[in-house]
Structures are given as structure tokens and as C-alpha cells.
Amino acid sequence: MHQPAYKAIHAVKNLIVRFWHSYWTILIVGSLFAMTSLGANAQNRSYDFTANDTVTLTNAASALSNRTTFTLEFWAQFTNVSGIINLVDITGGNDAGGLILNAGKLTVDLACDFGCLTESNALSLSAGTWYHIAVVFDNGTWDFYVDGVAQGINVLDQGAINVVPDYAGLSVTNLLFGMQNHPSVDDFVGSIDDIRLWSSARTQTQIQNNRSMELVGNETGLLGYWKLNETSGTTVNDSQTNSSSLTGTSSGIGFNPVGAFSTDTLAPTVSSISASTTNGTYKVGDVISVQVNFDETVLVTGTPQLTLETGTTDRTIDYTSGSNSSSLTFNYTVQSGDISADLDYVATNSLALNSGTIRDAASNNAILTLPSPGTANSLGANKNIVIDGIAPTISSVTASTANGTYKLGDSISIQVNFSEVVNVTGTPQLTLETGTTDRTINYASGSGSSSLTFSYTVQAGDNSSDLDYVSTSALALNSGTIRDAASNNATLTLATPGAANSLGANKALVVDGVTPSVTSTAPVGGAVSTDTSVDFTVNFSESVNNISTDDFALGTTGGATGTVASVSATSGSSVTVTVSGITGNGTIKLNLNGATNISDAAGNVGPAAYTSGSAHTVAIPTVPDAPTIGTATAGDGQVSVAFSAPGNNGGSAITGYTVTSNPGGFTNTGASSPILITGLTNGTAYTFNVTATNGIGTGTASAASNSATPKADQTITFAQPSNYNFGTTPNLSATSDSGLTVTFSSSTTGVCTVSGVALTFVSAGTCTIDADQAGNSATNAATTVTQSFTVNAVVPDAPTIGTATAGDAEATVTFTAPASTGGASILAGGYTVTASPGGATGTGSGSPVTVTGLTNGVSYTFTVTATNSAGTGAASVASNSITPAAPQTITFNNPGAQTFGTTPTLTASSSAGGGYVVTFTSSTPGVCTVSGTTLTFVTAGTCTINANQAGDSSYLAAPQVSRSFAVSAIVPGAPTTIVATAGDTQASVAFAPPANNGGSNILGYVVSVTPNDVLPVSGAGSPIVVSGLTNGVTYTFTVEAENAVGFGPASSASNPITPKAIQTLTFLNPGSQNFGTSPTLTATSDSGLAPTFTSSTPSVCTITSGGLLS
């Protein structure tokens, strides 16, 4: 490995690129970067600059004209890093910008005259140190890099500039390094090396990877490339080959044999191979991160590969990360079959490029030879990684339970044997072939061994003549795991059922989990419904034992009953059961009870209960059941009772029904429903029940009916009313023969309403009244009696007068409708307005009505009448007095757009003549005001002016005319009362805002300095502090105000001030003195100036010209 012969640490401050009038500033922001120059390699050259030295890159500025992206980069070594130092001017026909170092910051200002500085981070530069500087412009934002480290990213251009200025239009052509003519900027003194100009916005990675490398010259986007490797002459060669040469010239520079970086020619080599994955054993699917370490930083393209020794099949793994570092990572995923006791690569040539590259920053291809496997610095020597990629397999399935037959509830223990020890999580499952329903059984034990036990309990219905699993995939994880010590998942494939090593081949286990059952029960043929003893045949699904009479029970319907008397045998597949003592009517069938002790040969006990056998009909006559009660319906002194026949007539035909009341016990009989009960008392509530009778006798009574109350009927007498006039309120009269009070209601509420017996008429028309009587506990509601009659309309009331408004020989009169229209609508055109004097009229269907034919100049009042179908009503009271007059109009032309600060005069005229003066008002006093005809503007905006003429007895008031127009802002006036106050290397400049803001809010102020030792200073308001002044120099200041339109004129110059340093006096107390002595006073100033003395108590002491007390 080669050793670095030179290493420099670069610390850089800020990069500022600014455009001020026709002057650019670009400065560099930095951080910390270490650059290595190799002694064994070739050192490049550079240019040395002293004051007034220049390098002019011809047409390089033209190449930037109107570009939205560019990158400028170069190496610089400063002799001095304080103050304002020029690096590069953009120049030609006119000065257009430049690159300067200003108080340790790089600042961009493209268009705002120091009002919008775009700055990078602050930098800390050292004299004599090489720094790589890159400034990137990208569609209105700036990226700043020093030694490849970002010092401000996506910094928004404060002038909102998204293109470089039009240098072609300014006749600007060149980039000039070194000298700067501006009096406030120092020439660059130091060294410059390797200048590059790109048409693209270079990325940080591109800048980092290439800053210490010589370019080929044909790189994409390269506009200019000046290596500065010349050794004599004035020609500065452009080494790019993409476009026309931008070769320049030099003046006064020195040729330095040492440049910013060396050309590296030594190839990287592999130093060691290791793995960030911890030592241990790894299974299929595990990922191991392998690192190939080089003796220097390398850059990778493509996907290099490393081949590992992994047993039968060696694995080739891909590069994944590490470019631009000295350690490359390759990830290896363990695959099935991989095995290694100590993971290593195959050979010293196991690292291959695979069509990619591994190079250092100088593009030297790396040497790929690895340490021999197992030797020092190899993967096997550095790590202890075991690979186990072989999964466990199943060797056989058996059972520890003895061969034999097993019944419902018995347990069988089954073992699944593996090729190696396995560990289990969760509950894996094994599915057995057990007849109609296959059984899935759970893992029980065995984790940490090579044999796993699964427990099977025989369930109802299970059946197998030689127990086995269902298929080769019958073993399932069930969300658990079966793995070896390396965590390889076991292969779960079983031997084919019945084949060697299967459960069926290894064991002889018979499963009988089928419980016996009854298949049928039926009466023996020949039994009749009147038999009192009947035999039933019972058939079982298989031969059973322990049959007895208590295993059976009777299922009956209706009133049939009986007793299980005997069984023909205690075992067998078919027996006869005798039922005796049969009585009643209905059916009997023989059922098997549940939970009996009947069992089959395997010992399965308790056939299921059976109730599906054939029934025997029993028929012995009885009295009928109760009828079903229906509805009791009341009448006058009687009730009709409905019912339905009983569901069971007892086996004998019903001969009749009897209905009985409660209370009173009134009865009546009949052959069918309904039956009428008479002789009841009106107003009394009754319920009723019904019985049925057949040849055997009378059955039980039905449930009670609903309550029914008999009631008497009533009739209303309601005479026909006569016709009435609208506005009257007659009373109604009607009677009922029950003596109860009759009530009234209206079915034509749009014509009439009724309250009690009083009628109220709503409108003319036909009024219809209903007479009703609701009845009471002993009397039914009466039938409604309806009578209709006519309501006649009358003339309407007088309307209510409103306001009369004069017009030209006419008047418009408003009014409201009369309170009562007389029961009929006011006719179309039914309102008449009459003028007084003269009697002129106007008609209409509503307010207002216009009366024409009046005489201008005559005073009138007006009345209104309303007319409906019945006639015309009374007139209203008289209106207000009005006098008709002629109309007039205003001519008011729009003044058009105006400028803030002017005072235009408004003009308008009336059609009535010059004697009728038009007046003006403003609707927008926040923008403009008006006094007489003179406009005054308050601010910029939209001004709206109204023109009016009030009229007189001969002319009506004119309609208002409004005109709107824009008021444009102008630049503000000059600030006033400029007062400067000196400080130490600074001044505070106070001022008053301009009297005229131009119609737009003041955005800020700029203070300019004379002489211009410092740049103009911006501020939001007074005072503004100007720093960086030179003590002892006399300055004056001017102030400009800015609004949305722009900067206004400069103020008059301030009072002159001279900044001065602050000094401190040291004057020790002379102490007590005796009268008549003349001690010498001593004092010093830290400024080095000689202090002077005065006495503030001359009646006690004075100071002589020699500085003595007297």
C-alpha cells in the first residue's frame, strides 16, 4: 500500500454570488475536507497571482449568456482571506459581475442593487491552504460547495432570478481572474488551479468524485476546461473538446510547478475480507454481509461479484454497496444445500468485475487478488461463520400404541421420525384417514429430539381397518415451525400411505368409532285402532347387547295412552316390544331413549335417541273439546256471539252449542255460529263463553269473549239555515232525540268556521256545516246531519293610503289593500286612484298606481278606492301633497386613469341647463376624496365618484351617475431630515419618511455612503446602522425610499460625521494636597493621545499651562 506524501485540511467560509448594477460577486462557502497527494504520483501545476495580475478566459462569459443552469469550479489558495477579495470578473464591453470573497461569505445578487443578497453559510478560511470551490446555479436557486462539502443547498435567489443575464446583449464576453477595478474590492493574491465551466447543475457526488482528478475533456456538459499547467508564455489553453475553444491569455502571473492536487497512478489493492455479520450458524434464507476491504477509497460501477465456497454448489454473490469508501459490501443469502464449517471464498481470484469497474478517484483499476482462503486476512481467518443449508426430512411414521381395535374415546399415540433433531414451535398437525370425516390431530411432544408425538382420540363416526394418514402432505405447520438447530425449516413430505415407513405399513391399528343406532320401529301388521295391546318391531344398525324395557318410551298424540310391557330378547339386531293398556284417542309410537346402556361388540355405548318410527292410531270416543271463542258484537239490548267448532269432537258428532252471558247468566243455543243473546241491559258490559255437546256429553267451556256493551240509537234534527251576508256572525241550532247536546263543525273552512254555535265567515261562497252527537255509555253516536247555505259578498273597506311621488305631468301613488275585501277578491284593475284637484284617475290591480295627465307645477293630493264583485267601497284618506315636474339627466364622462399626486378637476352638466349645478361625492374615501370639483388622491387603487343634481319645483332630482377609474402609484419622494451620528467604525443614520409615499406603502430604505468605502445598506425604517467605516474618515449619507413601483430620488446629504475609536483615560486621584504646593498631574489614554486637564472648581484650584495644580 502506498503512503500519502501530503495531506492538507481545508476550512472554507461562504459562497456569495451577487449582481449589483453591472457587477457580480461570487464567494465560497466551505467546511472541512482532507485531500491526499501521493508522492509517487505526478504533481500538476498552477498559476500564482500578485496585485494587478490577470487571466482572461476569452468568450467564457458568452458561453453562460441566458443559461438557466451552470457550474463554475476551480482550486484557490489565498495569501489573504480578510476584506473583499476579487476572484473573477465577468467582463467585456461592460462590467457584468464577478466572484469575490467578502468578509468570509459568498453572496449572490443578480438584480437588486444590494437589496436582495443571497448568501451561503459562513466559512473559516486560512491563508496558504488550497480549497476547491464550486458554485452551482439551478433555475433560481444556488448550491455552494467547498472541497465537495455542501455549504448551502437550494438557497433561493433573493432577486428571484431564474436565468443568467443577457451577456450577449451587454457585449460581455470574458471571464477575468485576479485584478478588479472596483475601488472597494482588492485584487486576488494567491494561486489558482484547474478551472472548469459546465452548462449543467453539477451534483455533489459529481463534484466530490472529480475535483482531484484531471478530466479527459469530452465530459458531457463541459463548456471550458483550463488546467493552468502552462510553464511559460501568455496563452491559457482550453482543454475541452465539446465545442469551440475558449482559450484565453494571462498577464503578469507566475508559473508554479506545484498545483492543488497530484495525479494518482497507483492502483488500489485488497487488504482483507471480513463480514459484519456476527459469528454463528446460518440457515437457508439467512443473509450474511461480506466486506472486501481496499487500501484506499474506491469507486464502483456495475455489479462486481465474489464466489464463495458453499459445498457441492459454490455461490456467486453480488456487490451491494460501499462505492466511494474503502470497504465494499457483498450480500450472501444461504440457499438450500449450502454447507460450510467455516465460510470462505473459493480462491484468490474469486473477486470478479462482472463487466463493472472498481477504481480509485484517479481512475486506477483496482488489483482484485485476494488472500489465499484460510490464510491471514481471508474471510475464513477473520470470521467463524458456519453454513447449514440442509433441511431435516421425515424418515418414518409409527405409533407407540399397541396393535388392536380402538373404540370411541380411546387414545392412540403417533410418532413422526426425522432425519435429525428438530425443534418445534406452535402446534403442528397431522391429518389421519378416518372414514367419512378425516381427523386432524395436534403435536403433543418431542421438541429437541428426532421424534415428534401426535395424540389421536377416536371420535364418533371414525372408522378404519388399518389406520394411516391421508396423503404425503398430511403433516402441516399450522402457523408453527419445525426446524433444525440452524433454523432450517424441515421438509414435511411423508411416505405414501401404505408404503414402506408409513403409519399403515408400520402398525396394525383398527378404529371403530361408530355407535350403533335404531334404524326403524313399527307396529306389527294387523293391529287396529281399538286394540288395547300392540307389538312393535325394533331394528338396529348392528347386533347390540343389554336391551331392556326401560330403554324405550311412548310418543303419543291426542288423548292416547299406554305402557311398554316387555321385550322379546336382550340382544340381537331386531327385537319385538309389546305396548299394553292402550286408551283414548290419538296415536302411539315406540321411541328409543337417549343415554341407554345398549352397546356394540367394540364397546361403543349408547345409541342416539330415536323418535322417527311408525305410529299406531288409537280411537276411543270422548266428550268434545272447547269451541274457540270469536267476537261479541253489541246491539240495542242484545249481543251476537261468534265462535268456531272445537278441534276435536271427541270421536262423536257435535249435536249443538250453548252461549252463556256474564253477568246475568243469559243463555241461548244453536247448531252453529253466531248465536244471538237478547234481553240484555243497555249500558252494561257483558262477556260470553261457549260449550259444545256430542253423543257422549258436553265438553268444557271456551275462553271468555271480548267485553260488549248494548246501547240505544239516537237521531239529530238540524234545520236548513238561511243565506247570510259576509261580515255577519249568526248562531246555529240543532237537537237530538236522546236529549244529548249537538256539536257543529265546518267542512268548508275556506268559507266559514264555527266555534260552539257561532259562525264566522272567511269569504263569500257556499258554507257547509256538520251536526254530530257522539253518544255516551248507553247511547250510540248519532248519524251526522249536513246543511249548506250561501254567504253573500259585500263591498270592500277603504285601502290604506301610502306615498305619492311626483313625475313629469304624472304621479305614482302607493297604498295597501283594505283590511276586509268584503268576502270577494278585488277585481283586476279594481283599485282607482283619483287626483285632487282635477279628478284625473288611474287604475291598477295593486300598488302602486300611476295617474297621468297632470299639470307640472300644480300641487295634488290623491285618494284610493277598491272594487270587488259586490261593488266599490269607500275612498281612503288623502295622500301627501306633491307637485309634478320635468325630468333631468346628468352628463358625467369618466375622468380616465389618474396618477397619484395629481389633483384633477371634475366636470359634469345637467340637461336642465347651466343653472342646475352638479355636485360630487366619493364612494371610496380610502382612495380618493372630493371637495367641490377638486379630486385629492389618498392612495393608489380604484376611485369611484358619484354625480348628483337635487332638482327644484320645475325639475325632478336627476338619477345619480357613478364613474370608477384607476389611480396609479408613483415612486416615493425623498426621505427628509437626514441626521448621521458617528460611532466606532460605524454610523447611525436617522431620517423621516418622505412626505409622499407615491400612493403605495414604503417597502424599505437604502443608505448610500460617500466616499463609498462600504456597500449600500438596506433597512425597514429609521435609523439604519452603516458598519465597516474607517475611523478618522469623514462621511456623508443619502437615503432612498422604495415602494412597489421602485426607488424614489435620493435625499439631500446628511451632516458630515467622522467615526472615531473609543478611548479610555486612566487618571489616578492625586490625593490630599497642602495649600501652596504645585503638584504635577499625570493621566494616560489607551489611544496613546496626551490627556489635557481643566478645573471644575477654579475658586479652589486652577491648572497651569504646564499641567501643574495651583
> Residue 635 is part of a domain; what is its CATH number?
2.60.40.10
Question: Picking from 23-27, 1035-1039, 1091-1095, which range would have the lowest pLDDT averaged per residue?
Answer: 23-27
Q: What is the pLDDT of residue 92?
A: 63
Q: What is the pLDDT of residues 205-251, one digit of tens each?
A: 999 988 888 888 999 999 999 999 999 999 999 999 999 999 989 89
- Contact between 1109 and 1097 (Cβ < 8 Å): no
Domain match, 317 and 453 both: no
Amino acid at 32: L
**What is the pLDDT, as a whole number, of residue 27?**
32
CA angle 217, 222, 224 (to 5 degrees): 80
Domain boundary among 214, 236, 263: 263
Is a pLDDT exceeding 70 seen at residue 691? yes
Which residues, other chains included, contact 638 with Cβ-Cβ below 8 Å and sequence gap of 6+? 676, 677, 678, 679, 680, 710
Residue 508 lies in a domain: yes
Is the preceding peptide bond at 895 cis, omega within 30 degrees of 0? no
Residues 98 and 203 in one domain: yes
Residue 652 domain-assigned (yes or no): yes
Please write down the HEC assignment for all residues of 459-509.
Answer: CCCCEECCCEECCCCCEECCCCEEECCCCCECCCCCCCCCCCCCHHHHCCE
The boundaries of the domain holding residue 419 are 394-512
Average pLDDT over residues 163-175: 75
Each residue's pLDDT tens digit, 277-325: 999 999 999 999 999 999 999 999 999 999 999 999 999 999 999 999 9
Average per-residue pLDDT for the chain = 89
DSSP 318-365: EEEE-TTEEEEEEEEE--TT-EESS-EESSTT-EE-TT-EEE-TT-PB
Residue 710 falls inside a structural domain: no
State pLDDT tens for residues 470-510.
999 999 999 999 999 888 999 999 999 999 999 999 999 99
Please, which residues have CB within 8 angstroms of residue 993's CB and are 6 or more apart in sequence? 975, 1002, 1021, 1022, 1041
Q: Rounded distance, CA 793 to CA 240, Å?
A: 112
- What is Dmax (Cα atoms) for the chain? 172
Q: Are residues 370 and 415 in the same domain?
A: no
Q: Does pLDDT of 361 surpass 80?
A: no
Please report how many Cα atoms fall inside a 13 Å half-sphere around the Cα of residue 882, on the Cβ side: 23
- Same domain, residue pair 112 and 179: yes
**Polymer length of the chain:** 1110
Give the gyration radius of the chain's Cα atoms. Answer: 61
Both 327 and 280 in one domain: the answer is: yes
Among the listed residues 759, 772, 750, the one whose alpha carbon sits nearest the alpha carbon of residue 732: 759
Long-range contacts of 774-777 (CB under 8 A, 24+ apart): 774/743, 775/711, 775/714, 775/738, 775/740, 776/740, 777/683, 777/709, 777/711
CA distance 242 to 909: 76
- What single string gives the DSSP state of each residue in 355-414? T-EEE-TT-PBPB-PPPPTTSTTSHHHH--EEEE-----EEEEEESSPSEEEETT-EEEE
The DSSP output letter for 776 is B
Amino acid 854: pLDDT: 94
Please state the φ and ψ torsions of residue 550, each to the nearest 5 degrees: -75, 0
Q: What are the Cα distances from residue 908, in Å, to 888, 913, 943, 957, 962?
A: 13, 11, 17, 15, 11
One domain for residues 244 and 294: no
Report pLDDT for 41: 52
Q: Give pLDDT tens digits for 406-435.
A: 999 999 999 999 999 999 999 999 999 999
| Residue 705 forms part of a structural domain | no
In a domain? residue 19: yes
* 530-539, 808-817, 937-946: least confidently modelled range: 530-539
Q: Does residue 22 have a pLDDT over 50?
A: no
Look at residue 679 and tell me if it is in a domain.
yes
591 and 651 together in one domain: no
For residues 690 and 751, membership in a common domain is answered with no
In order of 631, 780, 1099, the CA distances from 708 in angstroms are 9, 13, 138
The CATH number that applies at residue 244 is: 2.60.120.200
Flag whether 1054 is in a domain.
no
Cβ-proximal residues to 323 (8 Å cutoff; 6+ apart), any chain: 298, 299, 300
The percentage of residues in the chain with a pLDDT greater than 70, rounded to a whole number, is 93
Cβ neighbours of residue 278 closer than 8 Å, sequence gap 6 or more: none
Q: Write the DSSP string, 589-618.
A: EEEEPSS---B-TT--B-PPPB--S--EEE
Residue with cell 450577449: 168
pLDDT more than 90, % of the chain: 69
CA–CA distance, 708 with 704 (Å, rounded to integer) = 11
Q: Are residues 216 and 307 in the same domain?
A: no
Q: Is pLDDT above 90 for 120?
A: no
Confidence at 18, pLDDT banded by 50, 70, 90: very low
In this predicted model, what pLDDT tens digit does every residue of 737-783 receive, in sequence order? 989 999 999 999 999 999 999 999 999 999 999 999 999 988 999 99
Residue 608: all three cell numbers together? 342416539
Domain boundary among 484, 512, 540: 512
- CB 365: neighbour CB atoms within 10 A? 13
pTM: predicted TM-score of the whole model, two decimal places = 0.34
Give the pLDDT confidence of 592-642 residue by residue, as tens digits.
Answer: 998 899 988 778 888 889 999 999 988 877 789 999 999 999 998 999 999
Q: Would you say residue 1070 has pLDDT above 90?
A: no
Sequence-distant (6+) residues with CB within 8 A of 188 are: 49, 76, 78, 85, 86, 87, 177, 178, 179, 180
- Indicate if the pLDDT at residue 110 is higher than 80: no
d(CA 912, CA 887): 8
Distance of CA 471 to the CA centre of its chain: 52
Question: In the prediction, which pLDDT does 1071 show?
Answer: 84
Return the CATH number at 951.
Answer: 2.60.40
Whether 783 is in a domain gets the answer yes
- Specify the pLDDT at position 29: 31
Q: What is the DSSP letter of 62?
A: G
Beta bridge partners of 931: 934
Asked if residue 438 and residue 372 are part of one domain, the reply reads no
Query: How many domains would you assign to the chain?
Result: 10
Q: Is residue 31 scored above 80 in pLDDT?
A: no
**398, 447: one domain:** yes
Residue pair 831/842 in contact (Cβ under 8 Å)? The answer is no
Q: How far is CA 44 from CA 128, 130, 257, 589, in A?
A: 17, 13, 7, 119
Between the alpha carbon of residue 505 and those of residues 396, 430, 1016, the distances in Å are 10, 17, 103
More confident residue, 1065 or 171: 1065
**pLDDT of residue 724 exceeding 70:** yes
- pLDDT tens for residues 870-923? 999 999 999 999 999 999 999 999 999 999 989 999 999 999 898 999 999 999
Domain finish residue from 664, 694, 724: 694
Q: CA-CA distances (angstroms) from residue 242 to 195, 197, 207, 220?
A: 16, 12, 19, 8
Do 338 and 413 fall into the same domain?
no
DSSP structure class, residue 673: S
Q: What is the pLDDT of residues 58-85, one digit of tens each?
A: 998 888 888 889 999 999 999 998 888 8
CA distances from 918 to 90, 479, 583, 955, 960 (A): 64, 97, 125, 13, 10
pLDDT grade for 13, boundaries at 50, 70 and 90: very low
Q: Tell which residue, 282, 332, 337, 342, has the closest CA to residue 313.
A: 337
Please write the tens of the pLDDT for every residue from 847-872: 999 999 999 989 999 999 999 999 99
Helix (H) or strand (E) holding 1084: strand 1084-1085
